[in-house]
Amino acid sequence: MFAAVPLFPEQASTHAGRVDSLFFFIVAITAAVSLLVTVLIITFAVRYRRRPNNNYDPHIQGSMKLELFWTITPFFFFMVMFVWGARVYFAVAESPIDAMEVYVVGKQWMWKMQHQTGQREINVLHVPVGQAVKLTLTSEDVIHDFFVPDFRIKLDVLPGRYMHTWFQATKVGTYDLYCSQYCGTNHAGMIGKVVVMEKAQFDGWLSSQAEGSLALQGRKLFLKYQCITCHSADSQARAPVLEGLFGRMVALEDGKTVVANEDYIRESIYKPRAKIVFGWRPIMPSFEGQIDEQEMIELIAFIKALRPGETPVRNEESTPPAVDPTSEEVTRPKP
């Protein structure tokens, strides 16, 4: 059973202290201003109330100094809040380069996690303490919200888009995970846990759960759906070369360019005519309804890891090779 979220959850991530400091500063300023306004209203209401023998209504002259004071002073505090909040936002939005990546899919009514090394979990996420963890999240159906109070991370998870956030746990333990966006009948049951482990313990857990990397699973799907028929990276190719594609600028038929990120790859698979690559004909069929979000994540992982010379050969079976072709130790020959 999950207990109610405490008023002041434990600080268990590097974000927690920064978020709490900003929150308490805003609360303190708001409370001080509210108290000041309340006291002034009561004081003026009593002191300047209408009396039986005083019906005189004087003409009040304005004060430039007073106007400047109550305009500039709030503006100063608002700018402090804005700059402070922006710094916290960008710190949460920009994950470290060496962060461990985990894909998360929200679905009525569960959280499905998948590690880069292939391990899959439902409603439980295992992570090492002291290691930055980048989450790439999407939804299979409606809007969900990934919320871990003790880490101070909360992010809407949208269907049809990839959202990103990250955290670095500072304490070993088990922390509650909630969906904080009403998502249907069993919304209250869409809860899970984040298990933070010592590094050695986490490595042991990874080894015991090994299923083959995400990229390797994506390679199987690449062959299963016959993507190699067109994306063959040879003289017979009828579609763009995917080797080294991820993160590159892609020139489009309409003269625009786009970054080949997760959203671009996803859109190209589900809606291939939305952004046609310059110099290629729009012959690719849509795979919407055939490839689910979990398979999409695996395909994207394969394309992200695909280096020059690693495109599978034509007519290759979808059975996995003896060694993961995306590992650092292996370099596949060009087809």
| Residue 67 sits in the same domain as residue 167 | yes
Structure tokens, 2: 């999950």
Same domain, 256 and 198: no
Distances (CA, A) of 129 to 37, 125, 166, 169, 201: 46, 12, 13, 5, 10
Number of domains into which the chain is organized: 2
Note whether 202 and 219 are same-domain residues.
no
Task: State which of 211, 240, 260 marks the end of a domain.
Answer: 211
pLDDT at 3 (0 to 100): 58
Provide the greatest CA pair distance for the chain: 103
Average pLDDT, whole number, for the chain?
A: 86
Same domain, 37 and 177: yes
Domain boundary among 165, 189, 211: 211
Half-sphere exposure of 92 (CA within 13 A, CB side): 18
- Which residues 6+ apart lie within 8 Å of 69 measured at CB? none
Does residue 56 lie in a domain region? Answer: no
**pLDDT at site 31:** 95
Is pTM beyond 0.85? Reply is no
**For the chain, what's the residue count?**
335
Mean of the pLDDT values across residues 5-12? 85
Q: How far apart are the first and last CA of the chain?
A: 54
| Domain span including residue 224 | 214-305
Q: Write down which residue in 193, 211, 229 finishes a domain.
A: 211
Collapsed DSSP state (helix, strand, coil) of residue 312: coil
Cα angle 76, 80, 84 (rounded to 5 degrees) comes to 170
SS3 212: coil
Question: Residue 309: which pLDDT band, with cuts at 50, 70 and 90?
Answer: confident
Q: Is 86 exposed, middle or buried (0-12, 13-18, 19+ CB in 10 A)?
A: exposed
Write the pLDDT tens digit of every residue in 92-141.
888 898 899 999 999 999 999 999 888 889 999 999 999 999 999 999 99
Question: In terms of domains, do 13 and 144 share one?
Answer: yes
Check whether residue 34 and residue 125 sit in a common domain: yes
Looking at residue 17, its pLDDT comes to: 92
Please tell me whether residues 32 and 168 are part of one structural domain: yes
Weakest mean pLDDT among 113-127, 156-170, 189-203, 312-326: 312-326
CATH number of the domain where residue 298 is located: 1.10.760.10
Domain harbouring 130, CATH code: 2.60.40.420
**Mean pLDDT, residues 293-308 taken together:** 89
Residues 190 and 265 in one domain: no
Domain shared by 15 and 85, yes or no:
yes
pLDDT at 334 (0 to 100)? 35
* Contact by Cβ (8 Å): 239, 230: yes
Same domain, 219 and 243: yes
Q: Are residues 116 and 24 in the same domain?
A: yes
Name the β-bridge partners of 250: 258
In this structure, are 249 and 187 located in the same domain? no
Query: Residue 330 falls within a domain, yes or no?
Result: no
| Cα four-point dihedral sign 2, 92, 89, 145 | negative
Question: How many Å apart are CA 122 and CA 135, to the nearest integer?
Answer: 15
pLDDT of residue 18: 93
